[in-house]
Amino acid sequence: MPELRQNVATKEWVIIATDRARRPADFADLKRPFTHSRPARVSSCPFCPGNETSSAPPVLEVRTEAGWDLRVVPNKFPALSNGAEVERSFEGISRRMSGFGVHEVLIESPRHNKTSGLLKDDEVARTLRAMRDRGRELARDPRLMMTIYFKNHGSAAGTSLEHPHCQMISLPVVPHQIRQRLGDAMAYFDETGNCVYCDMVRQELEAGSRVVVEGEHFVAFLPFAALSPFHLWILPRRHMPIFTQASDKELASLASVLRETLARLYFGLGDPDFNYVIRSAPSHEERSRSFHWYLSIVPKVSENAGFELGSGMFINTALPEESAAFLRAVSLPM
């Protein structure tokens, strides 16, 4: 029988369509070209070594004697402009702000045929440290409220360039969804005296059936009410409202968990397109006792349709417990 499940942290209801459920292996597409089958360098790629002049000068760069390992550059086609002034206007029901903000691209590797699940743990840690350090620097600007950190992998996830990269957009406002989740977390704290995300980590570890990877400081699992097939969360064990509060040691643990989780998706499902997003509190919420940052991974192995658009609810045709068991059983190359 189908059932409705609710994510206690987000208050979102999900239909687990057991009558339409597919086996986890049915979501795999092992015939598509894998990222590792691409050439290591593509002459026309603006992010490949030798094409550095295609981008603006880096705001952060990690180099060795052999060349650069990581670069952070301003986005060539930014969603927002850091050259604008922060201006607001109110005319009846019309509210406007100038398009101020910062949009940067983090080039994760000089190799074109890599993705996060194929990198080494220390390479993923280098990416996470760069995102954190840029986030700390951007938070010093009082005009910016928060930074959104995300990665798009594959055309279905919205990427236009194959080369491995992440993006960061710093905003002068707090998006409605973030404000709503802060409010839901505060309501749970008022009722229970606990952080809902801390409770979630503890209970998922106790249940074990949806856990995919455990690390010293982080846990990867499919939420009880996963919105879509193989939708995963990675949460820190230590309570932290903001991503930039993570230490180097914690980011090394996150890198290991994230890399293994993405490798299990890569080899288990056939290099699926995916998005990952770091969901963090705004910079002024650094002492929040109710909100807890986390990383969300959404593989693009299913499509939304009219019901999702009309209701705001999702239909998940894969049981989270079965999907987690499938990922745990994926054989990874040494």
Q: Show which residues are catalytic.
A: 165
Question: Which of 63, 271, 30 minimizes the C-alpha distance to 153?
Answer: 271
Tokens 């693009």 locate to 300
Q: Angle at CA 265, nearest 5°, toward 259 and 267?
A: 95
Quote the tokens at residue 313: 């609810």
DSSP 8-state class, residue 193: S
- Beta strands per DSSP E along the chain: 3-6, 13-16, 60-64, 67-74, 88-91, 94-97, 102-107, 146-153, 165-171, 211-214, 218-221, 232-236, 274-279, 294-299, 314-316
d(CA 25, CA 212): 16
